[in-house]
Amino acid sequence: MADFILRALLSGLLVAAIAGPLGCFVVWRRMSYFGDTLAHSALFGIALGLLLEISLEASVIGACALLAVLLVLMEKRRGLSTDTILGILAHSSLALGLVIISFTDNQVNLMSYLFGDLLTVSASNLLWIAATCIVVLVLLLLNWNRLLAITLHEELAQVEGVHVTRMRMLLMLLIALIVAVSMKVVGILLITSLLIIPPACARAYARTPESMAIMASIAGCLAVCGGIMASWFWDTPTGPSIVVAASLLFVIGRLLPAGEKL
């Protein structure tokens, strides 16, 4: 098999495996609009990276993290709903990104950022993705029970000694990291689907948060394999094919009779 396919497969599987458990939190805490907002700000990160001529990976991660912090700070001020704040941040960062890109001399292929470019993943891209995924996985495992506790009841968790604001910030930063590396896989416009469709597939078959997280990882990996295969055989765009495969999995899961839950 060609090297580029192997690299594509590996980075897709890594991202999908981590997006599964993290996506569960997005679903449980109803944060899908937050994922969208982060994805939009990723384009701002790209623009900034091009303008300052620094590593695009670093600038995207920086932009996403900055937005996560901004959101936590803005949420504390009352007056506007989170929904509205997200809308403002999402669209102003996207628009700002597009405006900044128009100032740079680079010939930028916007499509590859909007819909992903998995087949052009380079060895250094893969290294970034792998390193980010490992960091996210370790932090997620170390804080798993605390994150579950704040998802179920924040005040109860706080009385029991969990640092709620710190955990909330951590979760947002982890999602920011995974969004930043998913951009290469499915693109800005489709990132949220990678976070929410696999957990949605898993929900009907899970009895515990852990089993739902693992099944979501598996569903995500199946979708990545399916998407890359479709792209290989029928020359379809890879990112959208992965999302279509995930949606198909979801539909099939709904049609199958519900069996024993795990």
Partner 1 sequence: MPENILLNAQEISLQFDQRLVLQNISLRIAERQIVTLIGPNGAGKTSLVKIVLGLISPTSGKVERRKGIRIGYMPQRLQVDQSMPVTVGKFLTLATNARSMETSRVLEEVGASALIDSQLHSLSGGELQRVLLARALIQDPQLLVLDEPAQGVDVNGQAELYRLITDIRDKHDCGILLVSHDLHLVMSATDEVICLNQHVCCHGHPEQVSNDPAYLELFGRKDAETLAIYTHHHNHSHDLAGEIVDEGHNH
Which single residue is written with the structure tokens 């416009």?
189
Q: Hey, how many other C-beta atoms are within 10 angstroms of the C-beta on 124?
A: 10
Q: Does 159 bind partner 1 (CB under 8 A)?
A: yes
- The number of residues that bind partner 1 (CB under 8 A) is 28
162 is an interface residue for partner 1 by CB under 8 A? yes
- For position 165 contacting partner 1 by CB under 8 A, the verdict is no
145 binds partner 1 (CB under 8 A): yes
Nearer to partner 1, 130 or 218 (CB): 218
Q: From residue 183, how far is each of 1, 36, 249, 259 by CA, in Å? A: 24, 12, 22, 35
Residue 209 binds partner 1 (CB under 8 A): yes
- Our finding on whether 258 is near partner 1 (CB under 8 A) is no
CB 64 within 8 A of CB 176: yes
- From 46-54, 97-105, 114-122, 153-161, span contacting partner 1 (CB under 8 A): 153-161
Distances from the Cα of 82 to the Cα of 71, 85, 88, 138, 189, angstroms: 8, 5, 10, 29, 21
Which residue's structure tokens are 């981590």?
A: 18
By CB under 8 A, tell whether 71 contacts partner 1: no
- Measure CA 73 to chain center: 21
Residues of the shown chain interacting with partner 1 in the complex, contacts defined by CB under 8 A: 27-30, 145, 148-149, 151-153, 155-162, 199-200, 203, 206-209, 211-212, 261
